[in-house]
Amino acid sequence: MESINPELNQEPPSLPKTLHAVLKDLHRRPYPHVPNPPSCKKRASVALVLRIRPTYAHWPNSPSLPAEQDPAVSTEQRLETFFSQPWVQHGTPEVLFIKRASRVGDRWTGHVALPGGKRDPEDTDDRAAAIREASEEVGLDLTTNDYIYIGNLPERVVTTSWGSVPLMVLCPFVFLSTRSDSPTLKLQPTEVASSHWVPLENLLSPSARTVEYVDMSQRFAKQGGLIARLICRSLAGSMEFAAIHLQPNETLMCNTTPSPDTIASQSSPSIFQRWKTCCSTNSAASVDSTRPLLLWGLTLGILADFLDMLPPHTAVRLWKYPTFTSPDLRFIVSILTYGLRKRNMLRVRSGPRTVASNTAVDSKTAALPVHQETNTKHDHNDVGIGGLGVGRYHGPLDKAYDGSTYAVGIMLRGYYEKLRVAVYVFLAWRVALGSMAAVYAWRFLQGRRR
């Protein structure tokens, strides 16, 4: 008679129970502090705010206002008390996101992000900056007993898209709301267009994975002008970056109502305005409020670190390699990187689970994990393309402070070199194709003259 393993009949742990274990582990093992690289003094902080939304069948009788916090009660004890409540055990964990307001000159205008911003001189530390920014942008006071400070996620250096110029150090901090009702948010109109509570199930779902298309011709705004941008756009098309389609449970729009004249002018743009928007390098001009909420770039990189701690631990593996929309360039990239991608994926599957990822990239910046001294012999030309900085200028990409490897660091090992070769092959192919077309056209015209 076959023996039955009782563990096989056990139901998988609920998401709140798993979240409890992850938060407890984050509190016990904080990530190390990352100092500023040379010539970079700016630091920024963001707040990853979590809450549990109660279900209809397990709705609490009161908003469960917490008692006055006893200094003798540890964070782990507060977590144990909070997650022991029935409405929490059967609730839906959610994350607070904001959609940034459209602002001229802001490189992250219109992006989905976490509440946060640059550290000010009056901030005592990076966490104080995250708390202040959350209060200013969405009106949350994270210092009250309604919130439990959990810990931090891996800090990163945000660089320019070529990875050679550091902009700031980005520091994420995790907070948990202990209330059962939705907190009252007060959105700052100049910073935030809307706020969204998104369930963790949505962030973990493979069906929510999609791509964001980025016009890479904007990179030539100061490197050749309009003609160079139009040529780049016609040849290479756009780049595809990994993204998550967000489906929030609760959305709050900023309470700013445009005037009727503004609405009328926005509803019927002229042909010149459309052409200017198409060719403009100002990303604020191209923000469309009707577009779906897409999480990508720097914020996706931060969330990938956190989501990969939750079962089934596939947040990093669901990440897609950046590529191009031009069919022939896409085909060349696929052929040249096929073997490398297979080998790197085998290394990821055979290695230990990662500590942090390097998926925090977009069209203009790249957030790089830093745990070692700067390599002063770095070749500044040995970087990625269009927001895919490899991070060698600020430290090894695929090594953590404890010697373990980053999953995406392994996946991208050698990918940028292949991508660069693919672009060169693509340009040579297009030049050859154009030359053949020109010769054929010249011969055709010569034949007609005869």
Q: Is the dihedral of CA 295, 129, 388, 414 positive or negative?
A: negative
The 10s digit of each residue's pLDDT in 8-54 is 445 567 899 999 999 999 999 988 888 988 888 999 999 999 999 99
Each residue's pLDDT tens digit in the chain (450 positions)?
444 454 444 556 789 999 999 999 999 998 888 898 888 899 999 999 999 999 999 999 877 655 556 677 899 999 999 999 999 999 999 999 999 988 765 666 788 999 999 999 999 999 999 999 999 999 999 999 999 999 999 888 877 654 557 888 999 999 999 999 999 999 999 999 999 999 999 999 999 999 998 876 665 445 556 666 677 777 777 888 889 999 999 999 986 645 445 444 444 555 545 545 555 544 444 445 567 899 988 888 788 878 888 887 777 667 788 888 889 999 999 999 999 888 887 776 665 444 444 444 444 444 444 443 333 333 322 222 333 322 322 333 334 433 333 455 566 677 767 877 888 899 899 889 989 999 998 888 888 776
**Helices in 237-357 by DSSP H: which ranges?**
260-267, 271-279, 297-307, 327-350
Please tell me the predicted confidence (pLDDT) of residue 375: 38
pTM value surpassing 0.85: no
CA–CA separation, 281 vs 285, rounded Å?
A: 8
Long-range contacts, stretch 398-406, CB < 8 angstroms, 24+ apart? 398/358, 399/371, 399/372, 400/354, 400/355, 400/356, 400/369, 400/371, 401/32, 401/371, 401/372, 402/355, 404/352, 404/354, 404/355, 405/351, 405/352, 405/354, 406/354, 406/355, 406/356, 406/357, 406/358, 406/369
Pick the closest to residue 409 from 450, 352, 369 (CA basis). 369
